[in-house]
Every structure is written in structure tokens, then in C-alpha cells.
Structure 1
Amino acid sequence: MKERNVAEQFSKYVIPSMLTMILTGFYGIVDGFFIGQVMGDDGLAAINIAWPLLSLISSAGIGIGTGGAIIMSIKKGSGEFEEARKAEGTTIVMLFFASVAATIIYLFFSPMFLRFLGADGVLFKYGLSYMKVIAWGAFFQIMGAGLNPILKNLGKPVFAMLIMIVGMFVNIFLDWAALYVFDWGLGGVAFATCAGQASVAVFAAMAVIKDKLGNSWYIPDRKLSKDILKIGASPFGLTMAPGVVIIFTNLQALHYGGTAGVAVYTVMSYAAYLVYSLMQGLADGVQPIISFCKGAEDYPALKHVVKKAFGLAGIICVILMAATALARYQFPIIYGVSQEVAAASVPAMLALVLAIPFIAIARIMSAYFYAIDDGRNASILVYADPFVFTPIFLLLLPIFCGISGIWLAYPATQISISLLSVMLKKTSNRGLL
């Protein structure tokens, strides 16, 4: 692949992917805006406690969908087009069964999950009204999230972006109607979220069905299923990591700051989620190109793609750091929080500023590893965040810094993950860069 072709493919995939992930981030941010304006601190705290359960659903879809999409790109790069079609069909079937399973599990176990996450009293009441609706919409959540990466790897990144725009506007309109017109509370917000994802799933399914899947595509291939799950474990963990982090952080915020502490963290997590989504969009955008280059064994082009990704990330980081620092007080106010919560959010927002460049490094390196089918190193990076560094820093830093230690745990974790990615790259036996 020539450098000119790489540049063309970079623009074709990365820009729509970044816009798509920004829109995905807006789903949660829009929900938070309306909830904060109508329901205040308690509503924001409740949605943040329930959010990891929603994140688990979308992560399952993204993990399966991205795992299948990576195999599709690698097979196409090596000229195995029939295997690529078979991988696409297997992925769709897996998404269907995962959707059905998630619906059943959440219908029966949502109350238990909310108790485990620390919800009690009014937070449990609000959270349960939210999850009852989310459970019924889990099917569309998984299908929408899983079909999107398939569309990108079919060479339709712009269409994937456009249907996300449709879903976002559906979500925004129904959020407004649910809270301001019908007074449906968090259950109405959940309905808006599910309706937005349902529109994405329907349009994505229509586009995929038009693609030539081949004969008997609905019969999953056992070996491909295992490969999809193996590769998909990394993007699943990458998407789920913020949800796991939220669980640990909510528990510490409740302990050190009560409901107000959780409200502060909710505001910070919305800002962080937007940054995270943008960087993940960049990483997802280069994934199909890296996977294709890997399959074609075009390593000079692969290096050029990664270099361009880091260059663009550097520019974005500067802009995001400046914007976050300038809006450190105004951003919480947008959500309608109390003056006490807005003032207490300033240190949390400044901690996010410090984390931004390291979020970029961690996301790009994780995507690089799973794009070249190096599941071991990708999984180490992905799961070290929520299950190693985050718990350690959340336990230790508040002992010395109080509630400020909770906010500092986020940049400390991202710095640690970035350093770990550099070490893994140097010791990797698949070093292509």
C-alpha cells in the first residue's frame, strides 16, 4: 500500500470513525444534561451508578462486532474473501444470541446488580426504573453496537457515521419529551436511549443484509467463533473498562463524599467519556487499515498509519486539554448541579486535563495490538486498567489526599497504562513498528 493510498484510507476511515464515537459519547452526555436539569444531583448520581450495566451491554456488542470485523479485514488483506464473508455471517449470529441472553439476564437480575453497585434508597429507585427499560432494549443495544464496526470494515464508515447521527437525534428528542412533556423520569431516559440504538440497529442491519454474505451464512463456524471471541476480548474490555472504573470510583466517592461526591464524579466521567470516545474513535478508525496491512504484510504502510495516528492525537490532545481547563467550572454548571457540586468538580476536571494525553497513548496502542491480532498484549493493556491500576490508586491515593485522591487516580492510571504499553511494545515478539 503506497503512502498516498494510506493517506486516502486514513481520511476515509479515521474522520468518520472519530465523528461516530463522538456521537456515541453524546448519547450519555445528552442523557446527563437532561437528567441534571430536571432531576438534579440525585438523578445524576443514580444514572452514574447504573451506567456500567448499560456499558456492559454495548461492550458485548462492540467486542463481538470488532472481533469479527478484524478477522474480516485480515482475511481480505490476504485475499481470502470467502473466509471474510464467513466471518461476517458468524459475527451476526453471535450478536443475535448475545442480544437475547443479555435481555433475559437483565430482566431477572437488574435489582441485584444495582444493590451490588451501591445503589440504595432514592438512588436504587431511580436506577431500577432506568434498568427495567434498558433490559427490554438490550437486543437493539447489542445489535447496533456490534453491526457498526462491521459496516466500517465493509468500507462504509460514512454510512456508519450517518446512522449514528440519526440515532443521536432520536435520543435527544425523546429525552426532551420523556422528561419535560411526559415526566417519565429515568425510565423515559432509558426509553430514549433504547429507541436511538434501535434506529441504528435497523439501518445497520438493512445495510449488512444487502452485502453478499454467501451461502449458509447463518450457520456459525466454530473456529471463527473462537477467534472472534479471542480477538474481541480486547475491544470488549477496552469499551467496558470505563464502566468498571466507574464502579470502583462510585464506591469510593460514596464513602468519602456521599451523594455529592458521586455527582462530582458523574460530571467528571461525562467529560472523560467524551475525551475517551474521541480517542477511541481515532483508534477504531486506524484499526481496519492496520489489520489490512497486517494481512497483506505491508509493514511500511502499517508504520506510516500508526505514525499519522499519533500525530493527529497530539493535535487533538492540545485542543482538549485547553478546552477542559477553561471549562472546568462552566461544564458542571451545564448539568444543573448545585453550586457545591460545581465548585467541588474543579479539581476533578483539572485531574482529567492531566490524563488526556495518556488516554490517547493507551487507546492507540491497545488498538494497534488487537488490530495485528496480538491478543495477549492487547488484553494486558485493556484489563490492567480496571482490575490492577485503578483499584490500587483508588485505595491508596485517598488515604493521603482525601477525596482529591479519587480524582488523581484517573491520571495516575492512564500514565501507568501508557508506560506499560511502551514496555510491551519493546518486548513484543510481533514488533512490526
Structure 2
Amino acid sequence: MNQNSNQYLAEAPIGKLMMKFSIPCIMSLLVSSLYNIVDQIFIGRGVGYLGNGATNVVFPITVIALAISLMIGDGCAAFLSICQGKKDTDSTRNGAGNAVTILILSSIIILLVFMFAREGILSVFGATENNINYARDYFNVIAIGIPFFMFSNGLNSVIRADGSPKFAMISTLVGCIINVILDPIAIFALHWGVKGAAIATIIGQVVSAGLAVYYLFHTKTFKLNIKSFAIKAALLKHILPLGISSFLTQLSIVIIMGVMNNVLVKYGAMSKYGADIPMTVVGIVMKVFQIVIAFTIGVAAGSQPIVGYNYGAGQHGRVKEIYKIMMIVETCIGFIATVCFEIFPQQILGLFGSESDLYNEFGVKAFRIFLCTMVLCCVIKATSVFLQSLGKPVMSMGLSLLRDFVLSVPLVLLLPLSLGVEGPLFSAPIADIVTFLVMLIMMKNVLKELKKTIKKEGV
């Protein structure tokens, strides 16, 4: 078990390294996003748009669980990569063990809170009289899978940092394949409706969690022992701040969806679309948005071990080059996504079932307006992860908070006052433009700092 096995991160060609780590990471995140997308597609065709509306109401609880698991997992991954660059084996091993312990404890607490607060949660996230029973059925099952969901997602980041991105991808992919196979069986053959979709989902999550446990006995750069799992406050003070950006990014989605759902229900009821159509449509748009973000974060998070290792090893010239390549790739991802959303919104919406003309009308508007600045969004989110990889949690957190909370939430609340139910759709483009300008100023200083260090080192 040799930590120097990751030395190639400071020596191999950057483009080749980024492909090796980013592609499996993209696949892992894409598959995670597809869990919900697959449910939506089968529920939309087997139950109808009210069933999809119910899953949108429940979706935030999985995002809350994901936020906590990524705070622990991504924070630990960034910490491990920096420690590996410094050849600090003890901190690497103990950091991973602490992440496992905290993931287990936090997932159990989250499960208990969700089960006791079910009705309040559904109400806060915009359940309507028409979809509340579907929402309860879906919630009751999905909540049971929370510990497995959190453990597998949190450990995936650690597995990638340990130099095994392919295993991380496979563990998630296997779970999703199981979900895809069981979804139609549960919904169409067994007629279990939304409850069946939820059962299919958690079976896949249990398998993914089992594979993560298996990996803990086959790690590459550290070997866990009993003492590794003992919680050490000094370690957590380093790990959790590095993951705070991931936490806030996901948590902001919950806050935005909660506010958005309630606003859309309120103003939708006063429009020709009614209360259920806008909320259901925007929920679908947000989940399709998550697919693009899977590519975006996949490139950035996949590069995290490379950035962290080189930064810890003092190879700042390589760090700067990684960011440059990352920005080119993210711009391409954002551009391709924007073209698809502007030209083919009806076709994308149609994947989730065929509904009324009003449903389709609002859906097309939602895709074209809400996602029109995907290029800027991709660059912003990738930069936030990059800053996290450099061990700059405050900057990373600030960028995430600005776009996803400070700007987005007030805009969702204020824009409907003058634009009605279509107002919230403009919140994302405005937030992207303002945050991008702030990001340019922030990164100018960060890159200047790296450049000075490079000159001092004579790189």
C-alpha cells in the first residue's frame, strides 16, 4: 500500500489524466442523475403528470441527503489529494476513516428526521391536493434508502481520490441499471405506481452501497484500521470546510425548489396553466439541468485529485494549465446543451409523457428561458469545484452561495410580481450573468497568485 502510487498525477500529460479521471466521474454523476430521470420517464408514462409532480415534491429530500454526503465525501477527497501530494499517509488514512464514520452517523440521523417530519416536508416543497397521496407513497419508500444513497455517493468521491475512478463509475452504473430494469416491472407489470418506482430506486442504491463497502477492503493509497474510524475533530475541521461548497450547491437546489414550487403553485393557479402544470414542468427542467451539471461537475470533480495533488506538491504551473483546459471543455459542454434546449425543447419534454397543449407550451418556455445561459453556469460551477480543490473553501463557497442562493431565491420571489408565473424562469439567466462577472474578478486574483508562485519557483 504505497501512497507514491499517485506520483503519476504530477508527471503524466494533463489532458490524458483529465480524461482518465473525468470520464468515469461524469458517468458516475450522470448515472446518479438518471435515477430520478428514469423514474420521471416511467412514472410520466405509467401514472401521469401528477405522479411526476409528486416526485418533484419529494426530490428535495434526496438532494438534502446528497448535499450532506457530498460535503463529507468531496471534502474528504480534496483533503486526501492534498495530503497525498504532501506524502502524508497518516492523515490520508484517518481522513478516509472519519469520512466513513460521519457518513453512517449522519445518514441515520437524516432518515429519522425525514420520517418524523414527512407531512411538514411535503407541505414546504409544494405538494398539492391533487398529488399529495402520490407524494406520500413515493416519500415513504425513498426515505428508507437514504442511508445507502448517502453512503454510496459520499464514498464515490473518496474512491476517485484513491485513484479508482472506474470502480466509482461501475458501482453507480450497476445500481442505475438495476433501477432501469426494475422500474417498468414495478410500474407496468406489478402495477405498484410511484411506490414501485421508489422500490426499484432503493434496490439499486443498496447494491451501489454494497460495492462501496467492498472497495474499503481494496484501497490503493491507504489501508484502514479500527483507529481510522475514531472521529477526530482536528481532521474534520480540515475535511468539512473543503466540502462546504458541494453542500451549499446542493442545498441551494433544495431551497430554490422549495421556493420555486410554492411560487409556481401560487401564480400558476392565477394563470391559464393552473397550479400543477408549472410546478411539474419546472421540476422536469431542473432534472434535465442536472444531467448537464453531471457533465460539468464530472470534468471538474474528476480533475480534483489531479489539481489537489499538484497543488500540494507545489506544481502550480500544472494547476494553472488544468484550469485552462477545464474552462475550454466546460464552455463546449454549455454551448452544446444550450443549442439542444433552444432548438429541441418539445422533443426533450416529450420524453416524460404526452400531455395537454398548455403543458407543452409552458414546458417549451421553461427550457428556452431558464436554461439559456448554460455556458456561464457550467463555467461558474466548474470554477467553484476548482477553488475547492485548491483548498480555498471560502472562495468556493462564496461563488456557490452568490449564484444559487443570494441571487436566485430573491429573484424567484420578486420576478413574478411583474411577470407572473413566467417570472421565476428568468431567475437563472440573471443569476448566471451577475455571478460570472464576480467569478472573473475572483479568478483574476487566484491566477495572479499562482503565476507569482510559478515565477518564484522558476517553473
TM-score where L is the length of structure 2: 0.90
Q: How far apart are residue 302 of structure 1 and its match?
A: 0.2
**Matched residue, 1:273:** 290
**Matched residue, 1:313:** 330
Instruction: Please point out which of 376, 388, 391 is paired with 2:406.
Output: 388
Q: How far apart are residue 2 of structure 1 and its match?
A: 6.2
Q: Distance in 2 between matches of 1:28 and 1:232?
A: 24
What secondary structure, in the 3-state scheme, does the structure 2 residue paired with 1:402 have?
helix
- Whichever residue aligns with residue 402 of structure 1, its letter is G
The gaps in structure 1 that reach 5 residues or longer are none
**Matched residue, 1:8:** 16
Instruction: Please point out which of 83, 91, 94 is paired with 1:86.
Output: 94
- Equivalent positions of 1:98-177 (< 5 A) are 98-177=106-185
1:336-386 CA-to-partner distances (Å, cap 9, x unmatched) read: 141321122111111244121011111111101111111111111122233
Between Structure 1 and Structure 2, how many residues are aligned?
A: 433
1:107-164 CA-to-partner distances (Å, cap 9, x unmatched) read: 2112221112222323222111111112211110110111100110010001111122
1:73-99 CA-to-partner distances (Å, cap 9, x unmatched) read: 100001111211111111111111111
Q: How far apart are residue 173 of structure 1 and its match?
A: 1.5
Question: Are 1:224 and 2:246 matched, yes or no?
Answer: no
Question: Are 1:236 and 2:253 matched, yes or no?
Answer: no
Bigger drift between 116-125 and 144-153 goes to: 116-125
- Whichever residue aligns with residue 240 of structure 2, its letter is L
8 Å CA contact 1:57–1:102 kept in 2: the answer is: yes
**Matched residue, 2:256:** 245
Bigger drift between 30-39 and 314-323 goes to: 314-323
**Matched residue, 2:367:** 349
**Matched residue, 2:59:** 51
**Matched residue, 1:33:** 41
| Structure 1 pair 2–144 and aligned structure 2 pair: CA distance change class (3 A) | closer
Instruction: Please point out which of 315, 323, 332 is paired with 2:340.
Output: 323
8 Å CA contact 2:149–2:206 kept in 1: the answer is: yes
**Matched residue, 1:295:** 312
Q: Distance in 1 between matches of 2:229 and 2:371?
A: 47
Question: Are 1:190 and 2:208 matched, yes or no?
Answer: no
What secondary structure, in the 3-state scheme, does the structure 2 residue paired with 1:217 have?
helix
Q: Distance in 1 between matches of 2:46 and 2:140?
A: 20
| Structure 1 pair 4–232 and aligned structure 2 pair: CA distance change class (3 A) | closer
Q: Distance in 1 between matches of 2:37 and 2:412?
A: 24
The gaps in structure 2 that reach 5 residues or longer are 1-8, 269-274, 452-459
Q: Distance in 2 between matches of 1:2 and 1:93?
A: 31
| Structure 1 pair 429–313 and aligned structure 2 pair: CA distance change class (3 A) | closer
**Runs of 4 or more above 6 Å deviation:** none
- Whichever residue aligns with residue 217 of structure 1, its letter is S
Q: Distance in 1 between matches of 2:442 and 2:21?
A: 27
1:264-321 CA-to-partner distances (Å, cap 9, x unmatched) read: 2122112211112221111211111111111111110001111111111122222222
**Matched residue, 2:104:** 96
Q: Distance in 2 between matches of 1:234 and 1:91?
A: 17
8 Å CA contact 1:22–1:277 kept in 2: the answer is: yes
8 Å CA contact 1:272–1:352 kept in 2: the answer is: no
8 Å CA contact 1:351–1:407 kept in 2: the answer is: yes
Identity %: 25
**Matched residue, 2:299:** 282
Bigger drift between 153-162 and 211-220 goes to: 211-220
**Matched residue, 2:457:** none
Q: How far apart are residue 431 of structure 1 and its match?
A: 3.7
Bigger drift between 198-207 and 400-409 goes to: 400-409
Q: Distance in 1 between matches of 2:203 and 2:65?
A: 15
Q: Distance in 2 between matches of 1:348 and 1:337?
A: 16
| Structure 1 pair 306–3 and aligned structure 2 pair: CA distance change class (3 A) | farther
What secondary structure, in the 3-state scheme, does the structure 1 residue paired with 2:38 have?
helix
8 Å CA contact 2:82–2:308 kept in 1: the answer is: yes
8 Å CA contact 1:425–1:431 kept in 2: the answer is: no
Q: Distance in 2 between matches of 1:382 and 1:335?
A: 30
What secondary structure, in the 3-state scheme, does the structure 1 residue paired with 2:191 have?
coil
RMSD: 1.8
Q: How far apart are residue 404 of structure 1 and its match?
A: 2.3
Question: Are 1:19 and 2:27 matched, yes or no?
Answer: yes
TM-score where L is the length of structure 1: 0.95
